Structure 1
Amino acid sequence: MSERPNVVLVHGHDIGRFLSCHGRASVPSPNLEAFADGAVVFDNAFSTAPLCTPARSSLFTGMSPHVNGLMGLAHDAWRYRHSVRTMPEVLSRYGYDSALVGLQHEHPDPTVLGFGEVRGMGFLPRAWPVAEEAAAWLQDRPADGAPFLLTVGMWEAHRPWRPEDYEFADPTMVDVPAFLPDNEHTREDLAGFHGAIRQFDAAVGHLLRAIDAHPVRANTLVIVTTDHGAALPRAKGTLYDPGVEVALVIRPPAAWGTTPARTTTMVSHLDILPTLVELAGGGPRPEWEGRSLVPDLRGVAPDEERELFFEKTYHDRYDPIRAVRTGRHKLIRNFADGPLLTLAKDLEESPTRRGMGDAHLAPRPALELYDLLADPAERTNLAGEPAYQPVLADLEARLDSWMKATADPLLDGAIDRPAPASRLLDAQPDLPARAG
């Protein structure tokens, strides 16, 4: 059996950390809770962006969206830059076979992403067909074959949440997060959300049982994560924590004998590719912005302060925002005028929107500073408070330094939409060399 572990990477859609294993007790997710009980749970994990394509681009490249090129949605012509290499392309250099089953959101044509095999052409309509197809793919794998990367993408829990598709929860029993108004409209919305998560959880449970029944179980690393925050106002589409927080549960191979654990160390989707490459026998690369989580998985989390950077550029409209987060503070810089919250079409039409009033339409400030320990809901903007000016100056300097080091095109002014992709050119040009 190869010392290089097989990898099964399962990613859900628009869920954030809305799972019982991450403290959402009312969310029906027993299969993932049982999985987490035997794994390493990262309770402080984040995406780089609050939107589907940009967030997934970082997961699969180890680079921020403006670095890899996917600053907006793939179906709006955003493309990886020429020199970017995706997770399956990188791991193939270490002898890995790869397959994609189900959803991806990096390119309209999933066959160009570097996978050796694509089942369902990158999309299957519901979680159960995806899980069944992934389990069938696994059954065809010999236990002593080449190591593999199996990426399993599920639509759930993207809106819409319809009663004909999902078994809704009891609205009176859902837990309403602090960033939403607790009223009948929000509870109606969350009841449908919980129903979609229930189906996601059941399907993932089916796949996990297939893995555990296969001889590859002893040497297979299983990652379950979500792309970005939940599809709720003040979450998806924002750089507040509910917009960029993700579930992240990793179960090392059984042969490791790892003790299940939870960690509050701040980690990022940028860390996944460096982790997998280290396990494959490789080392870090200068273009990767994350770090390997192998020490965390072996119970030796680094004892150091870390900063994470977040960004939004395009969704269904131009909305340029950048942010930096430490363990204690967050600075959000809004680069264009607009309302406090810009709601995508699915959020604007949601039941929650009907019951939240219009306070979010007030003008946004240029700078937002939050003390995350005193104000975890990010409600009190401290950017104008004299006592916080040293913190503000420090975080502004960090954000500026990161934007310059990564050649963020926003430094040169407004970012245009890309030209429509053509048959002859389907990539974005590379960025200039990094400063310093």
Structure 2
Amino acid sequence: MAPSALAGVARLQGRRPNILLAISDDQSWAHTGAAGCKTVNTPAFDRVAREGVLFANAFAAAPQCSPNRASLLTGRHIWQNEEAGTHASNFPRKFPVYTDLLEASGYVLGYTGKPWGPGNWEITGWPRNPAGPEFNKINMKEKIPQGIRKTDYAANFKAFLDSQPKDKPFCFWYGCKEPHREYEQGVGLRAGKKIEDVVVPPFLPDTPEIRSDILDYCFEIDWFDRHLVRMLRMLEEAGELDNTIVVVTSDNGMPFPRAKANLYEYGTHMPLAIRWPARVKAGRVIEDLTSFVDFAPTFLEAAGLTPPPTMTGRSFLDILASGKSGRVDPTRDKVFTGRERHTHARPDNLGYPARAIRTHDYLYILNLKPDRWPAGDPEGFFDIDGSPSKTYMLENRTSAEGKRLFALAVAKRPAEELYDIKADPGCVNNLAALAKYAAIQKKLRAELEQALTEQKDPRVLGYGDVFDSYPRYSAMRDYPGFKKQGEYNPKFQVKPPLPR
């Protein structure tokens, strides 16, 4: 059934669906029970996937928190969102967000945990966080491990449900802070997780230290899911579960070297399961390539609204409602991702700009400033979160294997990278220099550059340095050059070239 038809049915029935978005913080696609991971316990995610649809190829717009969350809200790529396309900057008020549009049509909004952020939304005139009104007053009563936020997410969702009018649909954002670092070291092992069950990605050393760190990460994924179990039960008891679109995902990849803040598979490939039994046939796996820029128009169409022309993303309500599995829409054969500045990790507060195209078979990355250090300047490499894994790799980089893996994480990269995703999901064997792949590389670069030109990416239109001018509101470091927190760098405040 087409999206417009589904929207019409919803209006005729007089009951528009509720929307519950559950989004964890720093979780790669491979780490759910439904994906076959043995080191996590995710009954809520697995239930949503079993009773709804598991998306095998969902991709963040950026491998960082705030840029990807901004793209989710606006339905636009990071290169279209100005300051909001960089990490920890501000959020221009001029961009419509799906939450405001739903509220204007009669939805009740709320969020618990982490909304859009980090960044400064007040300075651009937002009356509240773009995700909606805050529900964070209730904290956990039990003792919780170090590194886990004290917020009782599920109890705050209950407070929201109790406060909202019963005759209006709701749109709620459950933004779990976990599994963002830091972790209580060894908490995964103490919880009974088995170190021999860990699957170590090929870009990390396979050692007990790394395996234990991965188990700590998995423990915090369980924490996210534990609260979602309670939320689903609340909706069930209220008789609202089957009329609620439940979306479970994450914002970017696992916080390990060469994953988070990188355009490789473990940085942008996200878990995604959606349940809506009133409209969506259960027990399916969809392989179509979908992007976070598609979420906003999907939510709006499900609510019977027309997405505004500012949104670049395409609603995937049609493939959700198709009843089909596998590759449903042959036009969904590619997605685009990108990154700009992550932390203050280089002199002058410079970022590491890159763009990528991901098809069913290949990942092509265009590094726009290959002279810069991708993980931040030595020796800090601050675009990589501090962790036992990072420390281990720093301290063991002299052996042959340690040197190879350390270089994958931090060494300067060529302008172009190409990976065979089916043969090399870890993205460790760059094929871009091989003649046999030259035609594929040329084709993907052309498709990427065409899309970026059509979407008016400053990086391809001649004024890309503007991204390095945008303020950072999080902490700054003592690097040479510009380091004024919350201020624009005048050196890079360039304007679009005048049309000829």
Instruction: Tell me the TM-score normalised to structure 2 length.
Output: 0.77
Q: Distance in 1 between the 2:390 and 2:45 partners?
A: 27
Query: How far does residue 62 in structure 1 lie from its aligned partner after superposition?
Result: 0.7
Give 2:298's aligned amino acid: T
Q: Counterparts of 1:333 and 1:121 in 2: how far apart (Å)?
A: 44
- Residue 136 of structure 1: CA displacement? 2.5
**Alpha-carbon separation, structure 2, partners of 1:127 and 1:394:** 49
Show the counterpart of 1:153: 175
Q: Report the equivalent of 2:143.
A: none
- Tell me, in whole angstroms, the C-alpha distance in 2 between the residues paired with 1:2 and 1:238: 44
Q: What does residue 413 of structure 2 align with? A: 364
Equivalent-residue separation in structure 2 for 1:30 and 1:120 (angstroms): 24
1:149-200 residue CA offsets vs partner (Å, 9 max, x unmatched): 1111110000011159775533333222333221112112112112111211
Q: How does 1:364-383 map to 2 (within 5 A)?
A: 364-383=413-432
Partner of 2:250: 226
2:184 aligns with 162
Q: Do 1:334 and 1:366's aligned partners in 2 also have CA atoms closer than 8 Å?
A: yes
Q: Is contact 2:185-2:213 (8 Å) kept?
A: no
Counterpart of 2:340?
Answer: 313
SS at 2:85's partner residue? coil
Which structure has the larger Rg over C-alpha atoms?
A: 2
Tell which deviates more after alignment, 227-236 or 89-98: 89-98
- Label 1:183 to 1:329 Cα distance change in 2 as closer, same or farther (>3 A): same
Contact 2:136 2:151 in 1 (8 A): no
Matches within 5 A, 1:23-172: 23-69=36-82, 70-74=84-88, 78-106=89-117, 107-108=119-120, 111-114=127-130, 117-120=133-136, 126=149, 129-143=152-166, 145-163=167-185, 168=191, 169-172=193-196
Q: How does 1:199-278 map to 2 (within 5 A)?
A: 199-252=223-276, 254-256=277-279, 258-278=281-301
Q: What is the CA distance between 1:15 and its match in structure 2?
A: 1.0
CA distance in 2, matches of 1:30, 1:280: 28
The change in CA–CA distance for 1:161 and 1:348 in structure 2 (over 3 A counts) is closer
Post-superposition offset of 1:290:
1.8
Could you say what secondary structure the match of 2:353 adopts? strand
> Quick check: 1:59–1:273 contact (8 Å CA) kept in 2?
yes
Counterpart in the other structure of 2:372:
338
Match for residue 389 of structure 2? 351
Amino acid at match of 1:332: I
Cα 1:201/1:231, change in 2 over 3 Å: same
**Paired residues of 1:127 and 1:203 also in contact (CA < 8 A):** no
| 1:114 Cα offset (Å) | 4.5
Aligned partners of 2:91 and 2:120 also within 8 Å: no
For residues 12-23 of structure 1, the aligned pairs below 5 Å read 12-17=24-29, 18-23=31-36
Q: Please say if residues 137 and 156 of structure 2, whose CA atoms lie closer than 8 Å, have aligned partners that are also in contact.
A: no
Q: In the alignment, which residue of structure 1 is the partner of 2:481?
A: none
Checking the alignment, whether the CA contact within 8 Å between 1:14 and 1:231 is kept in structure 2 is: yes
SS in 1 for 2:34: helix
Partners of 1:16 and 1:200 in 2: CA distance: 14
Q: SS of the residue aligned with 2:154?
A: helix
Deviations 1:299-318 (A, max 9, x none): 25323352211111101131
CA contact (8 A) 1:370 1:381 kept: yes
Q: Is the aligned partner of 1:417 residue 2:469?
A: yes
- Between the aligned partners of 1:165 and 1:189, the Cα distance in structure 2 is 9
Cα separation, partners in 2 of 1:164 and 1:140, compared to 1, 3 Å: farther
Give the CA deviation at 1:408: 1.4
Q: Which stretch of structure 1 is more off in the superposition, 402-411 or 105-114?
A: 105-114
- Residues 386, 116 of structure 1: alpha-carbon distance in 2 compared, 3 angstrom cutoff: closer
SS at match of 2:260: coil
What SS does the corresponding residue of 2:266 show, helix, strand or coil? helix
C-alpha displacement of 1:278:
0.8
**What is the TM-score of this pair, normalised by structure 1?**
0.88
Cα pair 2:76 2:311 within 8 Å, conserved? yes
Q: Which segments of 5 or more consecutive residues in structure 2 lack a partner in the other structure?
A: 1-12, 141-147, 346-350, 394-401, 474-484
Unmatched 5+ stretches in structure 1: none
Offset of 1:45 from its aligned partner? 0.6
| Contact 1:103 1:153 survives alignment (8 Å) | yes
Aligned to 1:303: 330
Question: What displacement does 1:397 show?
Answer: 1.2
AA aligned to 1:156 is E
Is the contact between residue 352 and residue 373 of structure 2 (CA under 8 Å) also seen in structure 1?
Answer: no
- CA shift for structure 1 position 90: 1.8
Task: Give the equivalent residue in structure 1 for 2:21.
Answer: 9
State the shift of 1:128 in Å. 5.8
Contact 2:116-2:131 at 8 Å conserved across structures: no
Give the letter aligned to residue 338 of structure 1.
R
Whether the 8 Å contact between 2:341 and 2:353 is mirrored in structure 1 is: yes
Match of 2:434 in 1: 385
Residue by residue over 1:26-51, the C-alpha shift from the partner in whole angstroms, topping out at 9 and shown as x without a partner, is 22223322332212111111101111
Q: Report the CA distance shift for 1:353/1:308 in structure 2 as closer, same or farther (over 3 A).
A: farther
CA–CA distance in structure 2, aligned partners of residues 201 and 26 of structure 1? 13
Distance 1:64 1:115, change over 3 A: closer
Give yes or no for contact 1:7–1:221 (8 Å, CA) kept in 2.
yes
Amino acid at match of 2:407: A
User: CA 1:314–1:335 in 2, change beyond 3 Å: closer, same or farther?
Assistant: same
- Go from structure 1 to structure 2 and tell me whether the alpha carbon gap of 1:287 and 1:123 turns closer, same or farther (over 3 Å shift): farther
Q: Partner residue of 1:181? A: 205
Structure 2 counterpart of 1:48, one-letter code? A
CA–CA distance in structure 1, aligned partners of residues 155 and 35 of structure 2: 26
